[in-house]
Structure 1
C-alpha cells in the first residue's frame, strides 16, 4: 500500500491556527461579557442598598438630635425640659396614713425627731407631683404621663432623683408606697403600721424597722434585703432576685422568690415559710428543731432537713427546686459543718 503524503502549504497551517485562536477569543469574550453584566447588576443592587442605609442613618441622626434639643428646631416656642427641685412639709395636724404612688423613681423613707412629714424631690415642670392632705391622710401621687414630652422623657437625658420622705417619730400610722423602675429604702422606722411597699425592676432594702402590724415587701427583678426587723407578720416576695434577711422576728414569716437564693440568719416565727426555685436556701432559725413541725422538699439538691423531724407547735416549711437546703437551728449543738455555715453567714453580713 502506498501512502500519499500531502504537503500543506504554510499559509494554510497559519490560517487554521488563527481560526482556532479567534474562536477561543470569541468564547472568552462572551463569558467575560456575561460575567461583567452580572457584576454590573450586583453593583447596582449594592449601590441602592448602601444609599438607602445612608439615608436612614442620616434621618435617624437628625431626628435624635432634634429630640434631644427639645424639638426646638421644629417647635421654636418649646423650651428644653427642665428639672425643678421641690420640697413639701405637712401641716401640724396629726396624720394616720401616708400613701405614695410614684413612677420611674427611687424612694427613701426615714424617721427623725421632727414634728411634720417632709418631702424632697425633683420633677419636670410639665408633670408636677400631686400632694393632698385630707382626713388624716397625706397622699403623694406622680401623675400619669399625659403630655407628649413626658411620654418620651427618656429622650431628654435627665434623671429623677429619689424622693426622700422624712416622717416624725410621733407618726405611728400606715404607710403604702408604690413605685416602678427604682429601688426603695426604709431606714429606722417605728410604726403601728401596716407597711406595704411595692416596686418593679428595683431592689428593696429595709433596716431597723419595728411595726406593730404587718410588713409586706414585693418587687420583681430585684433583691430584697431586710435586717433587724420586728413585726407581727412579714411577707417578702420577689422574682428573679435574691432574698437576704437577718435578725427578723415575726409571728408569721414568709419569704418567697424564684430564680434566686434565700439567705437568712437568726429568723424567728411561729410560722415560717421559705420557698424558691432554681436557688439555694441557707441560714439559721432561732430555737431547736423539736420546736417545729418541719416540712422540707427539694429536687436536684441536698437537704439538711431531710432527716430532721419535730412535733413542735411552730411550723417550718422549706421548699426549693434545683437547689440545696441548708438550715440550722441556733439552739442545737453545732457541728463543724454547721459552724462553717454560720461562718459563711457572718462573712455575708447576715450575722453580726
Structure 2
C-alpha cells in the first residue's frame, strides 16, 4: 500500500473527528512515513508496519471522547507519542554559569540552539505523566525527563508537537550531552562548544552549522546528518540507516560506521577517515589529493575505484573504506596528475 491509499483509507474512517483534527492525524502519519523513508525503508514497508488504516481509524474513533488516563495503546500500530500539556512552555534555567549540560529524555525530541545571552535554560511543557528533575552541581546543569506512563493517546495529536528546547547562550563554550529515544535530536548554529554527544535510537540526529572540539553521534535505526560542522574529531555510528556528511571538517578524525545503508560524504575533509558499512554503498568527495592518503579499501560484489592497500613513505593521512555487496566511489577535489 502506498502513502496516498493509506492516508485516504485512514481519513475515511475518521468521520467522528473535525476536519482540523483529521488533518492533524494525517500530518502525523505523513511525518512518520517521511522519517521511515529518510531512514532507508521503502514507503510500503513503513506503512505495512503501521497495520490496517481501518483498524487505526477505529482505535482513534473509539478513544476520541475517552480520558487519556483510561486508555492503553494498541500493540503494533505506531511508536509511542507523549501527551501534550494544555499550558505554555516552562523555563528551567541554571542559576550560575556552568561548564557542562546534560539532557536525558524519553520519547520526545530535543532541539539545541543558541541565544544571544542569559543563562543555560530548557524550555518544555510538562504534563501530568512527565517527571522532571533539574540539578545544578559542580558546574553541571542536568535536566532529566521521564514518563510515568509510557502511554500513547490519540488526543495528544490534537494538542500540537512536543519537544524539549535547550537554549545555550553564545558565551557557553562547555560540553553538551543529549540522550533521548524514539525521537529526533537537532542542533544548529552552535559556536565554540567543547565536546558534544548526541544519542538516541529509532530516530534521526542532525547537526548543522556548528563548531565543537569533539562530536559524537550515536543512534540505531536512525539516520545521521552533518552539514557545515567543524571541529577536531567526529564519530558517527548508527545501524540500518544512512550517514551523510557535507561541508564539514575534522582534521584529527572522521569515523563513520553504519550497516545496511549508505555513507555519503561531500566536500569534507579529515586527515584520518574511516567509512565502514555493510550492504550499503560508500560515496565521497574529499578535499585534497589522493596521494596524501595511505588507503585501505574493500568491498565484495561491487565496484571499487580505490586501491585495496596503498601506502608509501611520507604519507601523513589515512583513509579506510569498507563495505560489502555494494560499491565504493571516492573522489578527491585535487585531480590526479
Per the normalisation by structure 2, the TM-score is 0.72
Distance 2:244 2:69 in 1: 46
Change (3 A) 1:83 1:104: farther
2:258 is equivalent to residue 257 of structure 1: yes
**Where in structure 2 are there 5+ consecutive unaligned residues?**
1-54, 72-82
User: Aligned-pair distance for 1:239?
Assistant: 0.7
SS at match of 1:248: coil
Backbone CA RMSD of aligned residues: 2.8
Match of 2:217 in 1: 217
Distance 1:167 1:204 in 2: 18
Match of 1:161 in 2: 162
Distance 2:308 2:84 in 1: 64
Match of 1:141 in 2: 144
Match of 2:151 in 1: 152
Per the normalisation by structure 1, the TM-score is 0.69
The structure having more radius of gyration, on CA atoms, is 1
2:64–2:155: 8 Å Cα contact kept in structure 1? no
Match of 2:172 in 1: 171
Distance 1:105 1:84 in 2: 17
Per-residue CA deviations over 1:225-270 (Å, capped at 9, x if unaligned) read 1011111110001111101101221111100111111110122112
Per-residue CA deviations over 1:173-200 (Å, capped at 9, x if unaligned) read 1100000011111101113421100011
SS at match of 1:283: strand
Change (3 A) 1:288 1:70: closer
With CA pairs under 8 Å and 6+ residues apart, which has the higher RCO, 1 or 2? 2
1:266–1:286: 8 Å Cα contact kept in structure 2? yes
Match of 2:226 in 1: 226
Q: Aligned match of 2:103 in 100, 104, 115?
A: 100
Change (3 A) 1:90 1:300: same
Distance 1:131 1:264 in 2: 38
Per-residue CA deviations over 1:266-297 (Å, capped at 9, x if unaligned) read 22112110011111111111111110100000
Which runs of 4 or more aligned residues in structure 1 lie more than 6 Å from their structure 2 counterparts after TM superposition? none
1:293–1:310: 8 Å Cα contact kept in structure 2? yes
Distance 2:161 2:152 in 1: 10
Match of 1:343 in 2: none
Higher helix share: 1
User: Aligned-pair distance for 1:130?
Assistant: 1.8
Match of 1:243 in 2: 243
